[in-house]
Structure 1
């Protein structure tokens, strides 16, 4: 009886280790997928991939520490270092997924520069092996508290966009279910780690495995994956343009602008240009936004301003108002604003410098 009981306990421990570590291992693989291979490319995939990697490293550290108490301090610090970034990555995943059209590049750079500076100060300036008491009494608690704060801020951001989420018309399983599963799952994992001293240190790892496989099931059984991953999935997400084809269409577009100068038409639209090129409006939009990295309106204005610059050089006596209408602008104010944006100078200043 004693021998059987010992064997049963060994098997139980092995199963516990297997299920705890499985989520962390596969989380790293899926994190790498979202970082480098998920298509279409989107900034929310970047933050989701990094979030999964940070969670996987943190959970992996917990698993090995639970089953091997003599784990080297350097691995423990790597796990805590990853934990420091989980909350911020959740916040920026939430922000990038909900605020699709908002630019956050500068905010991200400033934010993570400060976080990295604090992290390097703590982990290099106060090694855990030398300051173990300080880490247990202050630093670890600070890391977990920071995680909770970011979970709360992300929750507030979701609440602020509640109306937008409520009106999403995607089929089930939809973006709402996917997105809220990530947030709620992260919250559960955060609570599990923060209450480990009341339950068990391994609960956080088991929670991550459960949440992770729930997300994988959602991905596998989603009929329309883009509707699962995006709040407002563009219609052309699954129809990428390869480099050779893109260059062909760019050449055709540039030739059309040069030969027919359609930009001079104040009523020109993207569908009208697409019809002239014999390409779908969605595909032309993708060509401009994804390949050429410019919006349709900015592309038109760029062509109009280039033409205006030629006219100003060759006809210094033309009135600026005449030039603006000749180049396709429907108002003088729109011409001035576009000219200043593209050249850094007002039209009159540019004319003075050109003809001086």
Structure 2
């Protein structure tokens, strides 16, 4: 009897702490997309494992609890996928495909909840929907693994890299535990979440011990080799996605897209690139404006300034003259006669 009490305690420990941790992360996110997705991921796993523990010790649990747990299970994969996506993409500008993706998932969940409730379709849920949910979870795991592999170079230089890799590895462990539960015990899946959560907390505490809340970089220069890799990743990002053309681009947003802390990016530009963030963007925008002036002589200067990412004509004129020594109009005239 005592062993059953201990089993219940450790199995439910992960579910309870997961819900608490998710609530705290969501409250502290303050609009941070990546942290919101992390909170949602932990919440979905907490609900899923809570349902497992409840069903293991109380087989006559109401069907609504089973459906809630399985619905949360269905959302684990998407939450993990969008966690990685949000850390590698610009969270302020979700793509149209992402919005359709999320909309389709929510519509599917709503349709199944309303049209096929567990209480009236027990056999369908046990033999079709529940296995389908597990394989959908696997599909998102494979998709997220491919996404992590695609961004592996950036993740090596990112402080969020260990977090994302740890989350991916932890979800793999939990999925395997549930998938192989038929050969062990159904409660193993819940116990695996407790194990993963405790290990994650211990690692976070170890990494944070003795560190300031905001990463200081005074008197600690980035090694040249590491800086070169990060600067190349920044150059590839800007060349590939042309983020400098967004007039509203900020240092925090660019840091999130690059996957490094804001202070780290600022240090990288100032110490290793000998330029400020504002100067870095200005140079890229002036280069873009020069190309537009040469390629499209008939395009008005207002349009050139807007397409190059400048917020106003006055900023465009002053920045261009400071970088090139002449006005945009003079540059266009010189380019036309060259």
TM-score of the two chains, using structure 1 as the length reference: 0.62
Which residue number in structure 1 is paired with residue 125 of structure 2? 135
The 2-side partners of 1:118 and 1:101 are apart by: 24
Query: Is it true that 1:65 corresponds to 2:62 in the alignment?
Result: no
Number of aligned residue pairs: give it. Answer: 248
Which residue number in structure 2 is paired with residue 312 of structure 1? none
Which residue number in structure 1 is paired with residue 252 of structure 2? none
Which residue number in structure 2 is paired with residue 108 of structure 1? 98
Which residue number in structure 1 is paired with residue 35 of structure 2? 45
Which residue number in structure 2 is paired with residue 178 of structure 1? 163
Instruction: Determine if contact 1:19/1:209 at 8 Å carries over to the other structure.
Output: yes
Mind listing any 5+ residue stretches in structure 1 that lack a counterpart?
1-9, 238-267, 273-296, 309-323, 336-356
The 1-side partners of 2:206 and 2:127 are apart by: 45
The 2-side partners of 1:302 and 1:67 are apart by: 62
Q: How does 1:69-88 map to 2 (within 5 A)?
A: 69-88=59-78
TM-score of the two chains, using structure 2 as the length reference: 0.65
Q: Residues 64 and 99 of structure 1: is their aligned pair in 2 closer, same or farther, counting only changes over 3 Å?
A: same
The 1-side partners of 2:200 and 2:92 are apart by: 26
Q: Residues 101 and 74 of structure 1: is their aligned pair in 2 closer, same or farther, counting only changes over 3 Å?
A: closer
The 2-side partners of 1:81 and 1:32 are apart by: 19
Which residue number in structure 2 is paired with residue 157 of structure 1? 147
Q: How does 1:264-343 map to 2 (within 5 A)?
A: 270=278, 301-304=310-313, 325=317, 331=328
Alpha-carbon distance, 1:69 to partner: 0.7
Task: Compare CA radii of gyration and give the structure with the larger one.
Answer: 1
Superposition RMSD on alpha carbons, in Å?
3.4
Q: Residues 298 and 56 of structure 1: is their aligned pair in 2 closer, same or farther, counting only changes over 3 Å?
A: farther
The 1-side partners of 2:277 and 2:77 are apart by: 43
Query: Is it true that 1:203 corresponds to 2:200 in the alignment?
Result: no
Q: Residues 233 and 129 of structure 1: is their aligned pair in 2 closer, same or farther, counting only changes over 3 Å?
A: same
Q: Residues 72 and 221 of structure 1: is their aligned pair in 2 closer, same or farther, counting only changes over 3 Å?
A: same
Query: Is it true that 1:33 corresponds to 2:61 in the alignment?
Result: no
Mind listing any 5+ residue stretches in structure 2 that lack a counterpart?
216-255, 266-275, 281-305, 322-326, 333-338
**Greater relative contact order (CA < 8 Å, ≥ 6 in sequence):** 2
